[in-house]
Structure 1
Amino acid sequence: HDELNLRHYKLCGIKNGIDTESYNPETDYQLYRNYSKDDMSGKGECKRALQERLCLEQRWDVPLVGMVTRLVAHKGLDLVRMGLEELMNTENMQFVILGSGDKEYEDYFNYMQAKYPGRLCFCHGFVPELARKIYSGADIFLMPSAQEPCGLAQMIALRYGTIPVVREVGGLKDSVFDSADNYGNGFTFKNYECADMQLAVRRALWGIQDDQGWHQLMWRAMMSDNSWDRSAQDYINLYNDTLKWA
C-alpha cells in the first residue's frame, strides 16, 4: 500500500463496463415488464410481481432493498449482519438477498427470513434470471463492500434505476456518487462501520418519500454511463497521454 502510494502519479485505474444491450430495461425479456428512463411506469409492476414471487407483502409504498452477492466477508456481510435487524425493527422496509457462500451468512439470512415473514426473503444460490428481477424490482440496492476493485452489481442496478447504497471503496467510489448535492446517482458512506451503513440506508429510505426527487434520482441513475464504450475511451485516453510523455 505504501509503495503504491509513493508512485500514485504513475498509476491509473479504469473501471470495467457492463453489456448495456443485455442489461437494458427497455428490452430485457427476463423482466416482468419493460420500462425506460423516460417511462418508468413498468418498474412498479416489476416490484409488485417480485414481491408476489418472493411471498413478500405486495405494497408499492414500502421500499424494497435488494442485494445480489456472494455471501463472503469482503462483500460487507458483517455490516449487514450487525445492522439489518435494527433496520427491520425501526424502518418501514422490505429486504431481499440472492446469493450463496459461507454457511454462517446463509444460516443468518435463513434465520432472518423466519423472523420477518412477508418482509424479508433469502434466495439461496446463483439464479441469473432472478437477479435481473431483483435489479429491476427493488427500489434500493445495498452494496457495503469492505473491498471492491471494481464491482458490476452497482452498475447494473444503476442501469435499472435501482438506487445503490454503497461504501466509498474501489470501483464503488468511482461509479456511485452521493446525491446530497442533487447531482449524484446514489447514497454512499465512507467508514466500514455498521452505523455509517445504517445511516446511508436510512437516507435512501427518507429520500424515497419525496416522489419527485426520487424520480429525478432514478433518471440520473439510468443516465449513468458504465458501458464498455466509456471504458474503451478511457483506455484510448490513457494511451494518448502516455505517448505525449514518451
Structure 2
Amino acid sequence: MKVIYIASEGAPFAASGGLGDVIGALPRAVAESGKGEVQTEVILPLYGSMKEEYRKRLTKEADIRFSYGWRQTGASVFSLTEGGVLYHFIENHYYFNRQKLYGEPDDGERFAFFSMAAIEFMLATGDIPDVLHANDWQTAMAVIYLKTEYAHIEALRRIRTVFTIHNIEYQGKFDPYILGDIFALDAKYYHIVEYGGCINLMKGALTVSDYISTVSPNYACELRHDFFAFGLADIIARVSDKMCGVINGIDYSVFSPERGGGIYTPYGRDDLDAGKRANKAALQRELGLAEEPDTPLVVMITRLTAGKGVELVLRILDELLGEKVQFAILGTGEAMYETAFSAVASRHANMRALIRFDRDLSKKMYAAADIFLMPSKSEPCGLAQMIACSYGTVPLVRAVGGLFDSIKPYGSDGANGFTFNNFNAHELLFTLKWALELYRDKSVWEPLRLAAKDSDFSWDKSAKKYISLYQNITNW
C-alpha cells in the first residue's frame, strides 16, 4: 500500500509549528510500523527558505505543464529521501520562492495551485497512491479536485482520501467570486465549498473526503460543540460517522535529554535529578536569575495569543511571583501580550520575558524547568506538553483537547502532571500553588517527575492506528 501525504510544511525542510513536526515524523513512523507493507511519500512546496544543506541534495524528477483555470502554467518537481521517506517538492518561483510560508495575500491561490500541481505530478509520473492524506485548509483543494475536476480520470478513481484537521480555527475562507479564476473550480461544484455565503475550503474537504482525522480523540469530541468548532459544528455533526481522533506523537531523536541536542548537560532517567539540577543552574546563570537550586522554576514556551491562555497567566502573575518561585516565558505573538509580559518582568527580579522565537533556548528551558505551564483555551493536540515530559519536566495544563488525552492529573492512575478544568485564572493559580507545595515534598515530586519522563509519546502507536485506518478505507 502506498500513502502520499500532502502538506504545506514539513520538518526539517519547512516548518512553522505542529503541522511541520507531524509531517516530518508521521510518514516515517507509518513506513517503519508497516514493516515493508506500507510505502510513504510526501509532497511539499519548494520554498525559497529551504536550507542549502537540503537544496543541494535535490534531484529533478519532472517538469509538468497544465491548465490552471484560464492560465497555462507549470512546475518543476524535485525529490530527496530523508529518514527512509521520499519527499517530492513542487517548485514554482512565482508562488513559492518566498521566505514566508504563510501570510501572503495570495495564499489561497498559492496552495490551490500546489494542490493541483501535486495531482498533475501523480498523473505525469504514474506515482498514484492508494491513499492521499491531506492536511488542513492549505491542501483541502487536493481532496476537492480529486472528487470534482479530476473525478473522470480512471487512474485517480481508486485513490482514497484522508483529511486531517490540525486546527479548525483556520478554514481557508474566500470570496465566492474567485471560485473559477483563483481556484479553477467549475461553478457546478460551488455547493461543495460554499458555507456561510463564502468559499470554505475546509468545509469542502470535510464533505468529500473518504475519512477525516483530528489530532487527538478529545479534540474530535470537542469539535461537535460550537465553542471549539469555529462555526463548523453542524458540518462536523454530518461527517462524524467518518471521523476519528488520533493523537500526535513526538520525535524522540529530536527531543531527548539523553542525546543532548543543544541542552547544557545531557542526562537520562538514572541521573534525572542531577541532570535537571545542572541544566537549571546553567539556565539561571544565562538568564540572570538567582542561582537557587531548590526554588521551583516554572516556564512557558508558547505563541503569545489568546488561544494559549496567556491572559489567565497575566491575571495571576504578580500574585504568583510573590511566592518562592522563578518564572520564564519564551515566545512571540500579539503585541499587547508581548508588552504585558515584559512589563511584569520589569517589576520582578524572579521573572524573565524572552520575547523571541528561539528553538535552541527552548530546549534548554525544557531541560531546566521543574514545571511546564500550558493553560490553553483550545489545544487540538499540543506537542509542548509531550516534549516537557520527555525532559522530565512536570506539565501543568488545562484539560482540553490533546492536553486531556496526554496528561493525567496527580492523584489519578497514570498521573504524569497537573490539570485544571475551567478557563479561570484563579483555578489556574490554585493548581499552580498546589504543584509548588508538592514540589517541596520530594517523596511526591520525584516519582511524579519520573512518571512524566516515562510517558510514551512515540509515534509508533499513532502510526499503527493510521495504518489500520488506511487499510479500512482501501480494503487492503
TM-score (norm 2): 0.49
Q: What are structure 1's unaligned runs of at least 5 residues?
A: none
Corresponding residue SS for 1:219: helix
Please name the residue that 1:103 is paired with.
Answer: 335
Please name the residue that 1:20 is paired with.
Answer: 252
Please name the residue that 1:86 is paired with.
Answer: 319
Among 280, 303, 306, the residue aligned to 1:73? 306
Matched letter for residue 20 of structure 1: Y
Corresponding residue SS for 1:142: strand
Give, in angstroms, the shift of residue 183 of structure 1: 3.0
The 8 Å contact of residues 393 and 449 in structure 2, kept in 1 or not, is answered as yes
Q: Label 1:241 to 1:201 Cα distance change in 2 as closer, same or farther (>3 A).
A: farther
Which structure 1 residue ranges, 4+ long, deviate > 4 Å from structure 2? 5-10, 237-244
- Rg (Cα) greater in structure: 2
Among 14, 39, 46, the residue aligned to 2:271? 39
Give, in angstroms, the shift of residue 237 of structure 1: 4.2
Give, in angstroms, the shift of residue 214 of structure 1: 1.1
Please name the residue that 1:135 is paired with.
Answer: 366
The 8 Å contact of residues 260 and 267 in structure 2, kept in 1 or not, is answered as no
Please name the residue that 1:189 is paired with.
Answer: 420
Give, in angstroms, the shift of residue 243 of structure 1: 8.3
Matched letter for residue 418 of structure 2: F
Corresponding residue SS for 1:136: helix
Larger % of strand: which? 2
The 1-side partners of 2:238 and 2:449 are apart by: 39
Give, in angstroms, the shift of residue 236 of structure 1: 3.0
The 2-side partners of 1:43 and 1:26 are apart by: 12
Corresponding residue SS for 1:97: strand
Please name the residue that 1:149 is paired with.
Answer: 380
The 8 Å contact of residues 34 and 43 in structure 1, kept in 2 or not, is answered as no
Please name the residue that 1:123 is paired with.
Answer: 354
For residues 34-62 of structure 1, the C-alpha deviation after alignment (integer angstroms, 9 at most, x for no partner) is 11112211111000000110011100111
Corresponding residue SS for 2:245: coil
Give, in angstroms, the shift of residue 20 of structure 1: 0.5
Q: Label 1:204 to 1:7 Cα distance change in 2 as closer, same or farther (>3 A).
A: farther
Corresponding residue SS for 1:122: strand
Give, in angstroms, the shift of residue 29 of structure 1: 3.1
Corresponding residue SS for 2:380: coil
Q: Identify which of structures 1 and 2 has the higher relative contact order when contacts are C-alpha pairs closer than 8 Å and 6+ apart.
A: 1
The 2-side partners of 1:165 and 1:5 are apart by: 32
The 8 Å contact of residues 304 and 334 in structure 2, kept in 1 or not, is answered as yes
Give, in angstroms, the shift of residue 181 of structure 1: 2.6
Please name the residue that 1:215 is paired with.
Answer: 446
Corresponding residue SS for 2:299: strand
Among 220, 227, 236, the residue aligned to 2:467? 236
Stretch deviating more after TM superposition (228-237 or 163-172)? 228-237
The 2-side partners of 1:167 and 1:240 are apart by: 35
What percentage of residue pairs aligned between the two structures are identical?
A: 43
Corresponding residue SS for 2:342: helix
Matched letter for residue 172 of structure 1: L
Q: Label 1:221 to 1:241 Cα distance change in 2 as closer, same or farther (>3 A).
A: farther
The 2-side partners of 1:122 and 1:72 are apart by: 15
TM-score (norm 1): 0.92
Q: Label 1:183 to 1:15 Cα distance change in 2 as closer, same or farther (>3 A).
A: closer
Give, in angstroms, the shift of residue 239 of structure 1: 4.9
The 1-side partners of 2:238 and 2:261 are apart by: 49
Matched letter for residue 234 of structure 1: K
Q: Label 1:6 to 1:219 Cα distance change in 2 as closer, same or farther (>3 A).
A: farther
Among 114, 124, 129, the residue aligned to 2:346? 114
For residues 137-190 of structure 1, the C-alpha deviation after alignment (integer angstroms, 9 at most, x for no partner) is 010000000011111111100100110000011111111110123631000011
For residues 174-224 of structure 1, the C-alpha deviation after alignment (integer angstroms, 9 at most, x for no partner) is 111101236310000111011111112112111111112211111111111
Please name the residue that 2:407 is paired with.
Answer: 176
Q: What are structure 2's unaligned runs of at least 5 residues?
A: 1-224, 226-232
Matched letter for residue 217 of structure 1: L
Matched letter for residue 250 of structure 2: I
Please name the residue that 2:103 is paired with.
Answer: none
The 1-side partners of 2:437 and 2:241 are apart by: 40
Please name the residue that 2:295 is paired with.
Answer: 62
The 1-side partners of 2:425 and 2:436 are apart by: 16
The 2-side partners of 1:235 and 1:215 are apart by: 35
Please name the residue that 2:41 is paired with.
Answer: none
The 8 Å contact of residues 66 and 142 in structure 1, kept in 2 or not, is answered as yes
The 2-side partners of 1:225 and 1:233 are apart by: 15
Stretch deviating more after TM superposition (96-105 or 173-182)? 173-182
Corresponding residue SS for 1:180: coil
The 1-side partners of 2:472 and 2:455 are apart by: 25
The 2-side partners of 1:11 and 1:209 are apart by: 44
